[in-house]
A and B are shown apart, each in its own frame.
Chain A
Amino acid sequence: MKPAPHGRLLVIAGKGGVGRSTVAAAVGIAAASRGLRTAIAEVGGRSEMYRILGPPTARPRAPGSVDGSRIPAPPGVMTDAAPGTLSPGDHHRLHAPHGGAPEREPAPALRHVTIDRRSALEEYLRNETPGRLPAALLARSSTFKLFVDATPGLSELLTIGKVWELTRRQRTGRDAAGYDLVVLDAPASGELIGLLGAPRTFGAIARVGPVARQAGAIDGALRDPGSLGVVVVATPEQMPVSEALGLRDELAARFGISLQAAVVNRLFPLRLSSEERTALAAAGDDPAIRAARWIHGRAVRQRTQLARLRRGMRGVRCITLPMMFDGELDRAGVEHLADLLEDRLP
């Protein structure tokens, strides 16, 4: 990949419960295995990522190990956080899969970043505070905290600002280069719109000053397809498809952003011909036959919704992922999905 002035932000959006985190993890793994320096970012909350990517251990990372190339084997998934900004419990060394055994092939570093408002604020102040007032003092000031809480859009701005910062080649206050790709496991659609709109929300109430300027810069970058891509995840069911189509409309209307792709998750197998379906309809009340009829019925209705999504997406690529019946996905399952996604996503 030829060096760009900055990395790319790929937002994985969609309704709750459709497997957004799983798809974000798979996209991250697929990108990292192609040699891209990749971070999977999520905003606050209790993390699904830990479960998907492997169990965390509370081992604080030594300062200076931010650069992936300096991490000794096994290369696994790291939580990226500026030393000192998070409590020790927030530093997670995520082990390689398969019982923590070292991976033999040197995989490129894939990192997991959890962004919370407080540390985003402190980091911002440390790096950006103008004037001579020490950042630490400002961060501790209760008046300043109240100000941040009271200013609509400011904490969302700091959050999206931190996500954005991860894509910079020259990252503020670090010697490390930014990531080639930052995969954001986005919050629910409404919150995501709030997050992407934060630079403008903030710009509407503060028209001058360094934060407003920076907000303007982020807002501009968010409208550049070279900088930001949005992938929507849906299951092929009525409401998730409606929400995906609604999100597409809202992104276009409010931000001028076009979707990059739609991922249709948990597609049931359609394995019966219509003759076979007719044969089963007459085949009595065996539990296995009832189950097969149910699976088939669901698969057929899913095709209707898939077709509706494809029509509504008007040319946006729709990628399907199969239903994984054998429980929730662990790292191995996600890697399998990553293989399926390879070359089909940016």
Chain B
Amino acid sequence: MTVRHRPKREAAAELDLAARLADASVVICAGAGGVGKTTVAATVGLGLAATGRRVAVVTIDPARRLAEALGLPELGNEPQPVEPALLESSGLELRGELHAMMLDVKRTFDELIELLAPAAETARAILANPVYRQLSTAVAGSQEYTAMAKLFELERSGAFDAIVLDTPPSRNAIDFLEAPDRLLAFLEGRAAAGLLGPTGHAARAAGIVFAAIRRITGVALLDDLTTFFRLVAELLSGFHERAAAVRELLADPATAFLIVTSPERGPVEEAIYFAQRLDRGGLHSRGLILNRFHAGSEDTRDAAVTAARLAPALGTELAAKVGRSAAEFEQLARRDRLAMRRLADALDEPAPFRLSDREADVHDISALVELHRELFGDRREPSPERPEAGGREPVDAKARSHGHP
């Protein structure tokens, strides 16, 4: 794989997110589990569609969250258009198109087998094989693998200007990059070679091992495995080409990774680790999104000071409560400032994008539109939500460019 260098960070830092993603045909949102990748993916899709592009958002999560947020009763395995009127009613005009789908792992895998099998008969035999039936659903990595297969298929179809991919909900972000290779190594035939065609000394040793395996698991399993690999052998060159093409697509300069994290320590460290891995692999990060950020005020750190200050206006009792709440909020804000600094230092990323923690959950279109405004909009004008969380560090373009040493 050729190692390509990303655009200079200094240059990238000056750009807002829409500009950073202007030439991206694939956007992959990656990060630890639970940081809000799905929501960010939907928001980014919205942002690209608003600027006139035809966008497909691919979500992995079985929780049907994106469908909920986009007002679709259900998301299928093919992109469905989101009703523009729905967005307009929330105050966002789409100049392009927004489509959304939810990955169906088994169906995508089946379709890939049908596509790559040289004969319909081979495909049918594979789909009916017990080993395959488990492989396509139950095995770790099949989600990641089919996600990439789907991404590739959509990209090649030419039906969209940009595809935004949410990544599977694993604990570690890096699984997304590693799991498909594990599965591919297996399908590409190393396992098949080991189980099917050992010769010479290897055959003798393998014979002993097979005897042991038979004793442990019975003959039927070994027969199913052998059959499976014999069948899959006919598809190997197809898998091989596909894998190489997917790797090329991931390394393409038009493929942008967005690293998403919450301010908690685990996800922050995961984001740093993932960014470094991307760098080493010659892949391109176009930005870091710090989600659920709290912009506080250091003046409210001490509950008693705040209570004393506000007592004349609010009365002692209410002022004490406000003092406590404000001090708690500032504790969150302080944690988030430290997270920001840690990310900026570790990743040489002077301008992580911030999305403020919403008082409410993001599960409908208007909340999504508000997030869009924060991530893509004119940040010099505060959004109606932000003053709630507001304070000394407004989440605006200026702060992002200059806010951190």
Query: A residues near B, CB below 8 A?
Result: 15-18, 45-46, 48, 51, 128-131, 133, 138, 141-144, 146-147, 149-153, 156, 187-191, 194, 197-198, 201, 204-212, 237-240, 242-243, 246, 269, 271-272, 276, 279-280, 283, 285-298, 301, 305, 323, 325-328
Query: B residues near A, CB below 8 A?
Result: 32-35, 62-63, 65, 130-131, 133-135, 138-140, 143, 168-172, 182, 186, 190-191, 194-195, 198, 202, 205-206, 208-221, 224-225, 229, 262, 264-267, 296-297, 299-300, 306, 309-310, 313-314, 318, 321-326, 328-332, 335, 359-363, 387-392
Nearest Cβ in chain A — how far from B267, in angstroms? 7
Residues of A within 8 A of B331 (CB): 325-327
- Which of A144, A194, A292 makes the CB contact (< 8 A) with B140? A194
Query: Which single residue of chain B is at the shortest CB-CB distance from A193?
Result: B138
Q: Are A15 and B34 in contact (CB under 8 A)?
A: yes
Query: Which single residue of chain A is at the shortest CB-CB distance from B172?
Result: A45
- Which of A16, A211, A283 makes the CB contact (< 8 A) with B33? A16
Q: Are B323 and A288 in contact (CB under 8 A)?
A: yes
Binding site of B, secondary structure by majority: helix, strand, loop or mixed?
helix
Contact A45/B171 with A152-B138, A205-B221, A287-B300 known, Cβ cut-off 8 Å = yes
- Which of A15, A138, A151, A301 makes the CB contact (< 8 A) with B361? A301
Q: Are A141 and B205 in contact (CB under 8 A)?
A: yes
Nearest Cβ in chain B — how far from A234, in angstroms? 11
Residues of A within 8 A of B387 (CB): 285, 290
Q: Are A143 and B388 in contact (CB under 8 A)?
A: no
Q: Are A289 and B322 in contact (CB under 8 A)?
A: yes
Query: Which single residue of chain B is at the shortest CB-CB distance from A43?
Result: B171
7 contacts between A and B (CB under 8 A): A16-B171, A133-B209, A146-B195, A191-B140, A239-B361, A290-B391, A328-B265
Query: Which single residue of chain B is at the shortest CB-CB distance from A215?
Result: B217
Residues of B within 8 A of A210 (CB): 215-216
Q: Are A143 and B209 in contact (CB under 8 A)?
A: yes
Binding site of A, secondary structure by majority: helix, strand, loop or mixed?
helix
Residues of B within 8 A of A144 (CB): 209, 212-213
In angstroms, Cα B139 to Cα A198, docked, is 9
Nearest Cβ in chain B — how far from A134, in angstroms? 10
In angstroms, Cα B389 to Cα A298, docked, is 11
Q: Are B143 and A190 in contact (CB under 8 A)?
A: yes
Contact A138/B130 with A16-B32, A295-B328 known, Cβ cut-off 8 Å = no
Q: Are B217 and A188 in contact (CB under 8 A)?
A: no
The residue among B35, B133, B216, B328 with the most chain A CB atoms within 10 A of its own CB is B216
